[in-house]
Structures are given as C-alpha cells and as structure tokens.
Structure 1
Amino acid sequence: MVVLNPNNWHWVDKNTLPWSKDYLNNKLTNLSTVSSDGKSRIELTQVSSITGDSNVSQRKGKPICYFDLRLSMNVKVTKLDTDEDNEDDDGTLADGKLEIPEFMHDESDFPIVSQGFDAFDGMVRSEFVPKVLETLLNYQDDLIKGHSKDLQV
C-alpha cells in the first residue's frame, strides 16, 4: 500500500498507551530510597493503575507527543532494622498510595496526592516523591525517542 504523505506534511498518529504502561511499570516498580535518618526504606511496590491517553504524532515532519494519564501507585515504608526474632514482623511501617490525577505533556508541576502514610506522609513527600518526579519527567523525552522513528511515512 502506498501512502501519499509528501514531505511528511500530514498528521500521522501512533497510540503509545501500551508502551507507556510497560515503560512506567518498568521505571517505577521497585523504585526505592532510604530515609535520611537511615531507619526506613520507602519503596514503590506496584503501579496499580495507568489510564488515559498517550500518543506520538507527526505533523509537517516534526514528531510531537501528547499524553494525559492518571497514575496510581502503591508505596510501602518499612523499617530497616527488622527484629529477626519475630518472624511475623515484616517491618512494614506504612502502606499507602500515591495518586497523580493528571500527568500531562504540557505540565511539569502536577499534583501528587498521598494517602495512608499517616506519620510517614511528610517523609514520603519530601524524600521519595522527588525520585518519582525525576523518573516521570524523563518519560516525555523517552516517549519521543522511542516512537518518532516509527512515524516516518
């Protein structure tokens, strides 16, 4: 089949939501840090939900991406000095969620809602959320790099 798209002038779209789900699961799951006091570990145990839209397009020969995703992640805070004599103690201090209601292509400052961390909420927000943000802010560049070659028609 011959596609007439001289000089890549017309829109060419690619749905990248499946790739995005794999990418975010691989980059975020098991992301962890040790607290500044050295007493606990904060770990993202699961990306429980990724919904929304993610696309890479080409217009006039230039690749662009646009995405609007909702992310939900399970995070666990565990103590590092677990009592080895107590086999029932898995060291869990808090099990919570991080929610990003709108992770969008044109925003780098988006709200992150934390739930279930109780006394550890401040620590999760100040010491772990920046690591999550750092990972998420690489997504757009990686999305374009991974898919812009597929759009040449």
Structure 2
Amino acid sequence: MVVLNPNNWHWVDKNTLPWSKDYLNGKLTSLSTVSSDGKSIIELTQVSSITGDSNVSQRKGKPICYFDLQLSMNVKVTNLDTNKDNEDDDGILADGKLEIPEFMHDESDFPILSQGFDAFDGLVRSEFVPKVVETLLKYQDDLIEEHSKDIQI
C-alpha cells in the first residue's frame, strides 16, 4: 500500500529529545549571576537529569511542537569574599538542587522546586531562578526554528 502525503498535510513527527538534552545542557550550564549585594555568585554546575518527551511535528503544513520535560539541576552559591580566614575553605556557601517537574509546551508559568540551599534559598529564588526561567522560555522558539525545516518540504 502506498500512502501519499502531499505537502506533509498529514502528521509528520520528529523526536527532538536528544537535541533538547544537548541544547538545555549547553544553555543552562553556562548560567551564573553575582548576587545584588556582591558577596556571592550563584551558578548552575550541572544539569543532572532531563527526561520526558519532546517532538516537532507538522500538521496541515504548519510546524508545531509539544514537549513535557522534567529537569533536575545542581546549583551552588559561592562566597566572593577574597579575604577567607581558612585557606582550605572552598567558599561554597550552599550546594543544592533546582527541580522542574513539568516543563510543558503550553505553559510559561511552571513550578520550580528548590532544596539544599537553606539560608540562601531566598537568594537563589529571587536572583537566579528568573535567569533559569528566561533561558527555558527561549527553548520552544529555538526548537521550532531548528527542527521545522527538517519536516517541511
């Protein structure tokens, strides 16, 4: 049986999870910010987990994407004070995780859970989490731009 699909009118799908993992690792692991008081730096050290689904599709000639990802990231807060009393001190003030249980294509307001930051939780949430959100909100546009040309005629 021969199935015709003129102009990709019927569904055409492309699994973009491998590309998404590379993209998010590259964009997120370069994130860092100096606190507003200038005493510490907050940096994402590792994207420890990316799971879920990510696809770019075409239906009736129009590219669309849909994704539902779960992300886990390691973040550290380091002291910028160069006058450390203890030379063995590595300057790490807090070492914790940010978790995003549902990062979805149709949501721009998604929950971000934090753990392990103790007294620095407020600092991480107010000064670093907005940078993570800003980066993640660019993902959908970049995903469509990168992969829609592969599924269009």
TM-score (norm 1): 0.95
Cα deviation digits, residues 61-90 of structure 1 (max 9, x gap): 000000000000000000001446633111
> 1:92 corresponds to which residue?
92
Q: Distance in 1 between matches of 2:8 and 2:53?
A: 23
**Aligned residues with identical type, % of pairs:** 89
TM-score (norm 2): 0.95
> 1:132 corresponds to which residue?
132
Q: Structure 1 pair 45/3, CA: closer, same or farther in 2 (3 Å)? A: farther
Q: Distance in 2 between matches of 1:152 and 1:107?
A: 26
Q: Distance in 1 between matches of 2:88 and 2:30?
A: 23
Where structure 2 has 5 or more consecutive residues not aligned to the other structure, the ranges are none
- Give the letter aligned to residue 23 of structure 2: Y
> 2:54 corresponds to which residue?
54
Q: Distance in 2 between matches of 1:20 and 1:3?
A: 30
CA RMSD of aligned residues (A): 1.4
Q: CA deviation at 1:26?
A: 0.1
Where structure 1 has 5 or more consecutive residues not aligned to the other structure, the ranges are none
Moved over 3 A (4+): 82-87
Q: Distance in 2 between matches of 1:8 and 1:121?
A: 49
Tell me if 1:14 matches 2:38.
no
Q: Distance in 1 between matches of 2:140 and 2:96?
A: 27
